[in-house]
């Protein structure tokens, strides 16, 4: 049996996609997991699945709509009341919205802004003092390849992820003296529940580059777990995505603008 690396790993948005995969892969190297999302029945069945493979692990499933201020505060209080003190935080919960900005539903846009930025920032702020007291820990902020690109029809999502990457890079520097590692994880497209939540009505378009640029959730999480242990500041999982990110980051802004304005538009239905 692999000895545990983390005493307690907290994963937001663990009910599906990358979050559920983080739970599966962190279980063998953690003593305790805290899983949070709104769909508690999915968290419970994930916990049962993990327990079959890793019987020693303690799993706490907490139902919370993290966008709701009261529920988020209660969630943070519950962690403290249970005496839990995570040394690994995976800020994974996030949603997207495909389509032009002007026709976006404001409630969905607001929810995306709050979940992708405010929730991630608040939970990090609430848990960091515990990590600092322990003299170590790790934070994986799930950002996106979109964080380095201004993307038409994905404008607000890309902007929220630009925040996540920038915040993670700065926080990483502040945390060096406390021995806390901070990773901005920047995946390209991955098959999860993300696309279904992001689309407006019927699916309307495909990702430029098609299936060949997709990376499996398993691989994304494997690379993330390795990267946080190595203390990497930022990681783009998958060789093609890493190459695309290196190319995009080296382009002058005028050329990037030209490329993005020629990108096929994803029209809402
Ligand atoms: N899939 C991709 O192509 C891709 C690419 C780059 C980055 N990402 C990022 O990866 C992260 C995970 O997304 P995913 O691809 O795994 O999509 P997903 O399968 O849709 O998972 C999203 C998770 O967020 C949770 N969530 C959503 N709203 C919530 C709320 N109000 N309160 C609590 N939890 C909430 C969902 O749980 P409940 O619905 O049960 O609450 C779910 O567990 C996101 O930050 C996303 O931006 C995804």
Residue 13 in contact with ligand 1 by CB distance below 6 A: yes
* pLDDT confidence bin for 201, thresholds 50/70/90: confident
Residue 237 clears pLDDT 50, i.e. is over it: yes
Domain locations in the chain as residue ranges? 6-262
What residues are labeled active site?
Answer: 157
Residue 91 in contact with ligand 1 by CB distance below 6 A: no
At 162-183, the pLDDT tens digits run 999 999 999 999 999 999 999 9
Distance 15 CA to ligand 1 centre (A): 8
Distance 32 CA to ligand 1 centre (A): 22
Residue 2 clears pLDDT 80, i.e. is over it: no
Distance 258 CA to ligand 1 centre (A): 30
Task: Quickly count: other Cβ atoms within 10 Å of residue 210's Cβ.
Answer: 9
Homologous superfamily assigned to 6-262: NAD(P)-binding Rossmann-like Domain (3.40.50.720)
Does residue 179 or residue 135 have the better pLDDT? 179
Residue 202 clears pLDDT 90, i.e. is over it: no
Residue 113, C-beta contacts closer than 8 angstroms, at least 6 positions apart: 156, 160
**β-sheet bridge partners, residue 61:** 35
Residue 66 clears pLDDT 90, i.e. is over it: yes
pTM of the predicted protein model: 0.96
pLDDT of residue 210: 80
Reference 20, options 189, 213, 218; nearest CA is 218
């Amino acid at each position: 049996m692999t000895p545990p690396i983390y005493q307690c790993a907290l994963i937001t948005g663990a009910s599906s996609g990358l979050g559920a995969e983080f739970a599966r892969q962190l279980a063998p190297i953690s003593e305790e997991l805290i899983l949070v999302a709104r769909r508690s029945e999915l968290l419970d069945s994930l916990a049962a699945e993990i327990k079959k493979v890793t019987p020693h692990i303690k799993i706490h499933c907490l139902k919370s709509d993290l966008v709701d201020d009261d529920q988020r505060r209660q969630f943070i209080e519950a962690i403290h009341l249970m005496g839990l003190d995570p040394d690994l935080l995976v800020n994974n919960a996030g949603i997207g919205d495909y389509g032009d900005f002007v026709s976006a539903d404001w409630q969905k846009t607001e929810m995306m802004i709050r979940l992708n930025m405010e929730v991630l920032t608040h939970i990090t702020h609430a848990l960091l003092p515990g990590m600092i007291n322990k003299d170590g820990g790790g934070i994986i902020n799930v950002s996106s390849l979109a964080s380095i690109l201004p993307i038409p029809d994905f404008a607000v999502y890309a902007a929220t992820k630009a925040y996540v990457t920038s915040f993670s890079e700065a926080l990483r520097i502040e945390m060096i003296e406390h021995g806390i590692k901070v990773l901005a994880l920047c995946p390209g497209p991955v098959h999860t529940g993300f696309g279904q939540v992001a689309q407006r009505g019927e699916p309307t378009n495909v990702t430029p580059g098609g299936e060949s640029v997709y990376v499996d959730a398993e691989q994304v999480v494997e690379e993330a777990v390795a990267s946080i242990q190595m203390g990497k500041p930022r990681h783009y999982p998958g060789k093609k995505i890493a190459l695309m990110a290196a190319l995009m980051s080296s382009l002058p802004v005028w050329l990037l603008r030209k490329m993005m304005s020629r990108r096929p538009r994803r029209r809402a239905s």
